[in-house]
Structure 1
Amino acid sequence: MTDQSGSPLGGDFVAHPAEVLAEFRESCPVARVLSPSGQPRWLITREQDVRAGFLDPRLSLRTTPGPKDRPHRALDMSLVCYDPPDHTRIRRLAAPAFAPARIEPYRDRIAALAAELVDALDTPTPTACPAEPMAEPTAGPTVDLMARFAQQFAFQVLCEVLAIPRADQPALRAAVAVLIDRRGHDATAPDEALNHLDSLIRHEIGARLGGSGQDVFSSIVRAWESANGTVSESELVDLLAMLLLAGLDSTAQMLGMCVMGLLSEPGLTARLRAEPELMPRAVDELLRWETPGPFGTARTALEEIQVGDHVIPAGSRVLLAVAAANRDPRCHREPDRLDLDRPNAGRHLSFGLGPHYCLGATLAKLELIEALTALLARWPELRLGCSTAELRWTGGSLHRRLEALPLLLGPTAPAAPTAAPATPTKAEPAGRTVRP
């Protein structure tokens, strides 16, 4: 056991988690550290041990809600606050709606959304690098991928698969923006945002009761109606709120990190343009190489647990270091290198493992594939607008965020035939796509 003075997870950890965690993985793979807030945590870093931790029922996610002086509101609890069998009981409402066969029919619409946003980037607005400019000046204006593409794309895809009415989208986007990043907002803004989110979800549940819509939201409501009271309305509201919020910023941030990684390694983008069939494997490799969430959700040891030569006491809080496991040389050869031919790229743990494996993993990967394909196809000379060392990171040790990702687009590729813009048919209300 190694006690750390101060927290290794503070400071510039959000910018360099892999390097910080690699030191623990190679010298003290099970370590007692302090969180940035000064709370003791046990850190597990080797791939074999992290994988086992995800599957160990003695590492509990259960959270007991504190006393409330108001009625239950969206996100008072979350799916990651439960262990089986309660977790299983609630999760089964949503799992079928996120199955690959149910998500695949959204591919064309997701590709169309990516193309529409790529079109909008053709009229760039000047964007400064997040830090000092590079010593060697770059020509032409830059665009911020995060603000002008990634965040908008992730939000629009969620509105599509959840069939959020178009009229409700601007206020919803404003609310979730506050919940994702509270900086610059007054003290009452998060509470107001949660109230709005709760009200919208409850209204949409009522609008879909007894309906036959095939979108994800409607499918979950229909499953709830068939559950014969085994899942409460409050649990349903929490589930839908979590799906909306968790699927937004994580996907936007991962998209930014994917583009950053590809543009940092010469030759990768050219190869993906020449061999687009490699994109699914490339996305898995990028998910292995970088992730917004360096750790799985913090767990509590229900009893003493032996991990390697160490005993984690009962009641301890435990962090499973996904970012360290994904770059463990015992599992991945030359783990710090992006390798589009890596045979076991899909073995990464960025979506977790076991009962809490990310519900939206299939959708997230589909979004990344279509967004990266659209961006690389449009601009053969796409490059970073500043060095990776100049990028500014925010968030915290559990969820890191790129403040901005300035890009130099360069000339566009020769125009290719495109499909007609995907719009709802006359029989479908705007924002209520029911194709799948």
Structure 2
Amino acid sequence: MDTEPAVRAGAPAPAGPPRLPEPLGAGFLARPAEALAEIRETCPVARVRTPAGRPAWLVTRAEDVRAGFLDPRLSLSGGRVPDPGVRRRALDVTLVNYDPPDHTRIRRLATPALTPARMAAHRERIERAAAELLDAADAARGEGPVELMDAFARPFAFRSLCEVFEVPEEERAALYEPVACLADKAGCAPGAVEESVARIDAFVRGKMALRAAAPGDDVVSRVLAAWREQGGATEDEVASLLAMLLLAGFDSTVQAIGMSVVALLGHEDVQRSLREEPRRIPRAVDELLRWDTPGPFSTKRVALEDVRFGDTVIPAGSGVLLSVAAANHDPRCHADPGTLDPGRSTASRHLTFGLGPHYCPGSALARLELTVALTGILGRWRRLAPAVPLHELAWGGGYLHRRLAALPVLPCGPA
């Protein structure tokens, strides 16, 4: 692996070659596609330094990013295979620690549980959750703004997950604490993070035992059914798979809802057209996912061999970041990418869910949640305006996963 040591803040620059460019700082979080545009157009495969001080190669053009997703030489595990004989808690090792074929044998257990048809069966309950949360937000605001992340996006994403996992009402409050903590580890003390991992592990294993004895029609039951039929995984690996599905389906969806609403706040014509023709919202979801994404890069990969992109060879052992945000705005793939076009014919070619073996297994649920959320929000109010200038919104998280802490909006009357 690329072994150049991390650089400590305030440390003097070492003598030697010029410092690598550092394009992924605080300004990047608010507008990643803009920050990456110059790199994509002038040096599409660039060696940079991350905010942690480590070198990495950025791959930014859509054709190259797509190829990178499909190249087995770009490894998530770095060539290491977790020892299946070592006892682990859920989340100690997840799918992002595996490459095919190990990744494939574990991931395939989730496939039958997460099909679009399976997710559509939960639509009525997810729509009910959206309506109830919007009712409560509307009632609580008076004439003031709604803080959409806390009042709607977070509880909606969590309730949607509880529906597909069939978590009883009386268990939900206790489950929300560890899920929220692990979604924002920076805001939790190390001890709280460890406790949250233990609580998620206990929750998942408890559900596995319950559903093994009394199967239902939920995600856990279907994963266990696939495990019984196919085998090929340890109990720890199944527990980690379920825990990952639970957590990965929370904050990414929360942030995608927030970013989609930010896009609509900045494009009143699009907001108005979707409100007038809500049947266009499912297709518009793909364009909104192309427009902005919580994950500007896929999970960092390691080149197991020298890998060539165009005229550039990335040496074996290097860290590689495939830039989803840059690819989604590449004019070679999407004409006039700086225009938000809900009817865009190429929108479904966005890479927000990845591509190939590591394509997001929860994409059908995420699309359903975004469709329901936006339909509910636009159907609730005849106009939605930002309560603060959009350029003043506070972006946190990091360059691998951006987080919008708050989104205050001013709803204008019932639609």
Could you tell me the TM-score, scaled by structure 2's length? Answer: 0.92
Q: Does the CA contact (< 8 Å) of 1:3 and 1:32 recur in 2?
A: no
1:65 & 1:153 partners in 2: Cα distance? 36
Whole-angstrom CA distance in 1 between matches of 2:179 and 2:384:
30
1:224 to partner: Cα distance: 1.7
The SS at the match of 1:188 is helix
Q: Report 1:228-267 matches (<5 A).
A: 228=231, 230-267=232-269
1:396 aligned residue (366, 387, 398): 398
Shift of 1:182: 3.0
Listed as ranges, the gaps of 5+ residues in structure 1 are: 127-139, 414-436
Q: How many residues align?
A: 397
Q: Secondary structure at the match of 2:90?
A: coil
* Superposition RMSD in Å: 1.8
TM-score (norm 1): 0.88
- Distance (whole Å) between structure 2 residues aligned to residue 141 and residue 231 of structure 1: 52
Given that 1:161 and 1:216 are in contact with CA atoms closer than 8 Å, whether structure 2 keeps it comes out as: yes
The one-letter amino acid of 1:165's match is P
Whether the aligned pair in 2 keeps the contact of 1:322 and 1:349 (CA below 8 Å) is yes
Q: Is residue 47 from structure 1 mapped to residue 62 from structure 2 by the alignment?
A: yes
Aligned-residue offset at 1:178: 1.2
Q: Does 1:152 align with 2:168?
A: no
Q: How does 1:201-220 map to 2 (within 5 A)?
A: 201-220=204-223
The aligned runs of 1:241-390 (5 Å cut-off) are 241-390=243-392
Between the aligned partners of 2:109 and 2:18, the Cα distance in structure 1 is 43
CA distance, structure 2, for counterparts of residue 274 and residue 181 of structure 1: 36
Distance in 1 separating the partners of 2:105 and 2:247: 21
Match of 2:112 among 96, 121, 146: 96
1:78 aligns with 2:81: no
Code of the residue aligned with 2:406 in structure 1: it is: A
Give how far 1:3 is off.
7.2
- Is contact 1:303-1:315 (8 Å) kept? yes
Q: What secondary structure is seen at the aligned counterpart in 1 of 2:37?
A: helix
Tell me, yes or no, if structure 1 residue 8 matches structure 2 residue 11. no
Change (3 A) 1:93 1:22: same
Amino acid at match of 1:54: F
Distance 1:365 1:26, change over 3 A: same
Secondary structure at 2:335's aligned position in 1? coil
Alignment of 1:144-223 (within 5 A): 144-223=147-226
Residue 300 of structure 1 aligns to a residue whose secondary structure is: strand
Once residues 388 and 79 of structure 1 are traced to their aligned partners in structure 2, the CA distance between those partners, rounded to angstroms, is: 36
Which whole-Å deviations, capped at 9, do the CAs of 1:368-407 have from their partners, x for residues lacking one? 0011001101101221111111100010000000010001
Mapped partners of 1:245, 1:311: distance in 2: 36
Q: Structure 2 CA distance, aligned partners of 1:212 and 1:397?
A: 40
Q: Deviations over 1:284-308 (max 9, x none)?
A: 0000000000001111111111101
**Cα distance between partner residues in 2 of 1:273 and 1:387:** 22
Question: Aligned residue for 2:14?
Answer: none
Contact 1:98–1:362, Cα closer than 8 Å, also in 2? yes
Q: Please tell me whether the aligned partners of residues 124 and 142 of structure 1 are also in contact (alpha carbons under 8 angstroms).
A: no
Give the deviation of 1:72 after TM superposition.
Answer: 1.2
Q: What does residue range 106-145 of structure 1 map to in structure 2 within 5 Å?
A: 106-125=122-141, 140-145=143-148
Residue of structure 2 equivalent to 1:21: 36
Contact 2:20 2:47 in 1 (8 A): no
The alpha-carbon deviation at position 66 of structure 1 amounts to: 8.5
In structure 2, the residue corresponding to 1:383 is in which secondary structure?
Answer: strand
Call closer, same or farther: CA 1:256–1:196 in 2, change over 3 Å: same
Decide whether the 8 Å contact of 2:161 with 2:250 is kept in 1: yes
List runs of 5+ in structure 2 lacking aligned partners.
1-16
DSSP 3-state at the match of 2:297: coil
CA distance in 2 between partners of 1:185 and 1:209 (Å) = 33
CA distance in 1, matches of 2:359, 2:352: 9
- In 1, the alpha carbon distance for the partners of 2:323 and 2:270 equals 27
User: Which SS does the other structure have where 1:93 is aligned?
Assistant: coil
